[in-house]
Amino acid sequence: MPESNIYDLNQQCLLWIPQIVNNFRKQSFFTGSCIMRNLISALDVLTEKLEILHETDFISILQAILQAQENRDYILLSDILECDLLPCLQNIQIKMQGEETQKAPDYWEKNMTELQEHAENEYQELYKTLSSASISSSDRYKQMFAINGQPTVKVKCQNKEILIHSSVNPEYQSQVWAEDVLKEIGREYVIYGMGLGYHIQALLKADDVCKVIVLENSIELLTEAFRDLDWVNYIKQKRVRIFYNSNAIKLMEKFSAWISGREFCIYYPSLCITEEESVRERLEDFFVSVNSMREQAHLLEENFYKINRMELPECSILKSCFKKRTIAIVGGGPSLDEQIDDMKKYREQMKIWSVGTAARKLINEGIIPDLIVIEDAQENMYKQVCNLPTEHIPLLLLSTASAQILDYYKGQSYVAYQKGYDLAEKRAQELGVQTYQTGGSVTTLALDVALRFGADKIILIGVDLAYTDNRSHASGMGYEIKEGKEYRMVTSTDGRQIKTSRNLDIYRKWIEHRIVEENIPILNTGRGAQIAGTQTVVIQELYGCEMYK
């Protein structure tokens, strides 16, 4: 057998092993065993043709595999495949790469011929783009081979290198991505980021009736994708459409309408190498919001059912207590420290809603909140209220917040049902109550509830939404901000440029969007991020503000 075929066969083994292990660990023994038969046949050929194997522990590994297979010990078999066989074959593949026995596949002519045959319809623009592409040499793109022999690439961006696909096994990494992205069968997806196309093909294979629209702004990656992977069948079946524009802003503007009604997904490495900052930030905001819900899905559901079983009163019962009143929403931002004295001075002229983070500090300062608001689903949220004298302080709890809090909270708790979460919307409909927008944070939730409760004025205290004085929170909470990390820069209420995080910036933008059509005064008292639509009030002059007259 030619050496190049041995290289390809070993590469195929490296692709099979993760698939087998994944199936065995999911107890999909039939599927795993079918692939396993192919692997064993390939290993027999490698044993016969590849002399280097006899210089390793390969033979003993193979014997252990056969014994575990005979015993149907799928856990042990998975461990041997993953921890013994895979590294052994990877080392051999690396050695063969060093001897330059590998050769990158080249599907360019085949793909372009197929595109040309369909160039009269939706592939016309793509064919013109690729056929006229002039790729100049650039050190921004570094092509390389993964350990398993498949092509991959690194891209330089903002003084760092971003790996677009795995340097070990691009195909398997993309299969994992596709399994997570895949929704119900037959959906149509819009994917930002082509890369080399492994993840696109993985999604098309995971659901053989779905269709994918790809948006890409790098002609270098797009060209390489058509050189490295075979797209012929997907073009014939019209299951993939690819749109290119070198300007990411124009690309998103042109196709933003397509996102509606389709599943929009962002391939994160493509986001990282997007050079237009405005587009990158918008994509980051979307990515963070969606991923937060996805990653916490199980925890949210678990909390919802636990809280639902408690049959807590719905929070609108509290509305009459706060309607036409001045509500001060108190966050845990750095500016809170310098506002404590004024809060004490004018305590009787405002209703104080404290987020969970700030509750302990306020109570320790002798400022008893009229309401505590908690929305985070994480288990350790109970620490915010544990051992506090909360007997006479109502708690507003989001329907998916940490249910463990109820074991520690001494006062009466009320539940708020949120928009955009199916279980909460269904329960709210059953009860005939309204739902609330969360905005992704406890402060944004409190703001929406205050507006819907009919507040006369809203004061934001300690809602910095930025790292004022290079601190994350008020004294006694949080940490000092260190150099070396990437931060966003925003304008502060006093006109300076200050650091903020991606999440805090998302919340700021959400607030600006939420209050744009509200007619009540919303006062921002801190030295943190400037929030469009709010009136900045210097804390020392608060007593002269209209609200106190």
pLDDT score, position 99: 61
Select the highest-mean-pLDDT range: 177-186, 377-386, 476-485: 377-386
Question: CA-CA distances (angstroms) from residue 20 to 15, 374, 508?
Answer: 9, 44, 46
207: closest CA among 244, 239, 248, 167?
Answer: 239
510 has a pLDDT exceeding 50: yes
Q: How far is CA 128 from the centre of its chain?
A: 34
3-state secondary structure of 314: strand
Q: In the CATH scheme, what architecture does the domain 110-134+174-295 have? A: 3-Layer(aba) Sandwich (3.40)
User: What is the mean predicted confidence (pLDDT) over 7-20?
Assistant: 90
Q: What is the pLDDT of residues 518-530, one digit of tens each?
A: 999 999 998 999 9
Q: What percent of the chain has pLDDT over 90?
A: 57
What does the angle CA 13 – CA 16 – CA 21 come to, to the nearest 5 degrees? Answer: 125
Amino acid at 401: A
C-alpha to C-alpha distance for 347 and 262, rounded to whole angstroms? 50
Would you say 396 and 357 are in contact if contact means Cβ atoms under 8 Å apart? Answer: no
* Mean pLDDT on 389-414: 95
425 pLDDT more than 90: yes
Sheet holding 395-398, edge to edge: 413-416, 395-398, 371-374, 351-355, 326-330, 457-461, 522-524, 535-536
Phi/psi of residue 154, each to 5°?
Answer: -110, 150
CATH architecture for residues 304-548: Alpha-Beta Complex (3.90)
For 366, half-sphere exposure in the C-beta direction (CA atoms, 13 angstrom radius) is 7
Alpha carbon dihedral 214, 215, 218, 222, in 10-degree steps, equals 20
Report the chain's C-alpha Rg in angstroms: 29
Indicate the burial class of 53 (C-beta count within 10 angstroms; 0-12, 13-18, 19 or more): buried
Q: Which amino acid is at 391?
A: E
Residue 77 CA: distances (Å) to CA of 41, 64, 84, 168, 365: 16, 8, 10, 21, 61
496 neighbors 355 (Cβ within 8 angstroms) = no
Q: Which residues contact 285 (CB under 8 A, 6 or more apart)?
A: 502, 505, 506, 509
Task: Average the pLDDT over each of 98-107, 397-406, 426-435 and give the range with the smallest value.
Answer: 98-107
d(CA 74, CA 35): 14
Band (317; pLDDT cuts 50, 70, 90): very high
Maximum Cα interatomic distance, the chain, rounded to a whole number of Å: 93
Average pLDDT over residues 224-232: 94
DSSP reduced 3-state for 352: strand
Q: What's the whole-number average pLDDT of the chain? A: 89
- Name the token pair of 11: 């590469």
Task: Write out pLDDT tens, residues 331-341.
Answer: 999 999 999 99
d(CA 376, CA 404): 11
436 strand-pairing partners: 418
8 token code pair: 């390809």
Q: Is the pLDDT of residue 292 over 80?
A: no
No. of H helices and E strands in the chain? 21, 17
Residue 121 neighbours by CB distance under 10 Å = 7
Provide the token pair at 501: 């995080």
Of the given ranges (196-210, 336-350, 421-435), which has the lowest mean pLDDT? 336-350
The closest alpha carbon to 370, from 349, 345, 399, belongs to: 349
Are 408 and 385 in contact by the 8 Å Cβ rule? The answer is yes
Q: Is 28 helix (H, G, I), strand (E, B) or coil?
A: coil
Span of 38-47, 100-109, 397-406, 459-468 with lowest mean pLDDT: 100-109
The conformation of residue 317, written as its DSSP 8-state character, comes to G
pTM for the full model? 0.73
Beta bridge partners of 77: none
The closest of 373, 532, 520 to 445, measured between CA atoms, is 373
- For the chain, give every domain's residue range: 3-98, 110-134+174-295, 304-548
Q: What are phi and psi of 485, to 5 degrees?
A: -85, 160
Residue 539 pLDDT > 60: no
Q: Please answer whether residues 165 and 174 qualify as being in contact, where contact means their C-beta atoms are separated by less than 8 angstroms.
A: yes
